[in-house]
Structure 1
Amino acid sequence: MTQSTTPRAVPTPGRTRLRRLRQSPAMRRLAAETRVHPAELVLPAFVKEGLAEPRPITSMPGVLQHTRDSLRRAAVEAAEAGLGGVMLFGVPERRDATGTGATDPDGILNLAIADVVAEVGDALVVQADLCLDEFTDHGHCGVLTASGAVDNDATLVRYAEMALAQARAGAHLVGLSGMMDGQVAVVRDALDGEGFLDTAVLAYAAKYASAFYGPFREAVESTLEGDRRTYQMDPANRREAAREVMVDIAEGADVVMVKPALAYLDVLADVAAMSTVPVAAYQVSGEYAMVEAAAANGWIDRRRAVTESVLSIRRAGADHVLTYWAVELAGWLQEENR
């Protein structure tokens, strides 16, 4: 048999070998294009009125409904971990049609804002969810008409009142998550009119009507029946996100957000490319729960999956990431950098 004389392909010395920059942990660190820093992470946290002790959220292992006291401790832990901020969500004992607990100075969210600001001062950006869904008995993000539809403009009045209540409680940033048209302009005008010129506005500019919010509904004990598709974005739409972002920036948003994050990395990349303000992304409850469930079954490496998922959100263009793993991930990052 005649032996083949076809020469074996050998890279020419000095030519490109892409593997050269992957040969060791030190080389990979040196060549890394994207990094995650604790200051780019924001911890979402839930505080429930009337709790005697923190309560685990079954669909989100490791996440709690906090008491006011345990929330203070969690805020201190977040500050010590070097996080950029916390985003607070309130769970009231009583709800009504217009969400009056959202604007009550003694409502659970406003008390929690004041608690955390008093505890950590400026060590964290204390952020507050500005939406009515946790406070309404129907679970929608706004005021309803007699026919049961969400009344955009009547809701804006409540948002303005809610923004002022949160600013008076000491919030550094208010997170407008309701997806009402005109919400940024109305809230910005209300804040400026009352002298809260330095209170920042984060607009959930591209918030989709997603299936990945399921565990969050348990966390806030949602009373929603039906869905929010008439005001949150259709998952089929990509270009529309750019319109939402441009409108919110024009109305005065200081930060814009894409939510969810992992299932919408294309949208996030688009927004990051065109935004003139910082871009946030929310790694939502369903994304968290899927990783935790798979890891609990031994199907994936939990630490690597958590780190890779947050890195992918940063790589797509997020300037900061809201994630329930924020404190734990910050600890890992600090270990790696010692």
Structure 2
Amino acid sequence: MTDTAERAPRPRRVLVALDSSPASENALAYAGKFVPAGTSIRILSVIAQCNAALPVPDLVRHSLHEARGSAVTDAREMLLRSQNALRNAGHHVETVLVELSDGRNNAQAIAQEAEDWNADLLVTGAHQHHGLLRWIEGSTAEPLAANRRLPVLVVPESFDATGAHEPRRILFAVDGSSEVLPALRFGAGLASSETHLRAIHVIDKAMRMTNPLPFSLLEEAFDEDARAARSMARRVFANAPGETSFEVLSTCECRDDVAHAIVREADAWRADLLVMGTHGRRGAARWLLGSVARNVARITHTPLLLVNQVPR
């Protein structure tokens, strides 16, 4: 397979979902540095319904109407500021304001907008223990999880995007399953001559404490999975510009897990971007990638790009 086939093209239609939170400000700032000039960016803000569930006095109804009007005004001003900031950086930018009145929630509205506009990347800020982060948990009830073709770039609220730049140190967390290939390909498509692409495979030594397999079989499974992960990473990175590397790491044998090991490595290596798949198969040595990705998203300080096993 050729390098061109192995590396996905850079995203050209990027949907940025914003609210008034600091997490969204981080997401917008990072999006402007993450995608190259000339990219088409659509900035979306969703105004939730504020109807009362029970009959209320006219005064309360009037107050709800005023609150919605204020929210719409604030959202329009935010969209205008955001549009100007990204246009100054050389992007093609348009804005969309959705006022919900049809029973949909914010997540469903954003998922629908991404589908209708044919976005190839969604960027969002994350309050790391609630809110938008629930979209990546893999539940079929969540509309974005059901959209299996949309990569999601999660920018943590704890991340300082002030001095951010186009990612030059991209860290991939991979297991030995073929489901990680779309994430490798998508991330490799971001590479330039100044990029270092580094893939890591984490052996979960803590699994030994609970896994019923004999130790020798478990070690064999660990080795096989690491070889498969290395082979896939090398194949995708074969002719990528810049520097590439691969390393096998391990969790501590107790009171540790794969997610924390990945985040420690991203911090220690000073990664600009962390890339993971969101689905995988569970085996003796393989991660349940949906669970690992979810846990990484909850604790990472590094922007996290999540790519589903079925790319667009």
- Length-normalised TM-score, structure 2: 0.29
Which structure has the bigger radius of gyration? 1
- Length-normalised TM-score, structure 1: 0.27
Instruction: Name which structure has the greater RCO, CA cutoff 8 Å, separation 6+.
Output: 2
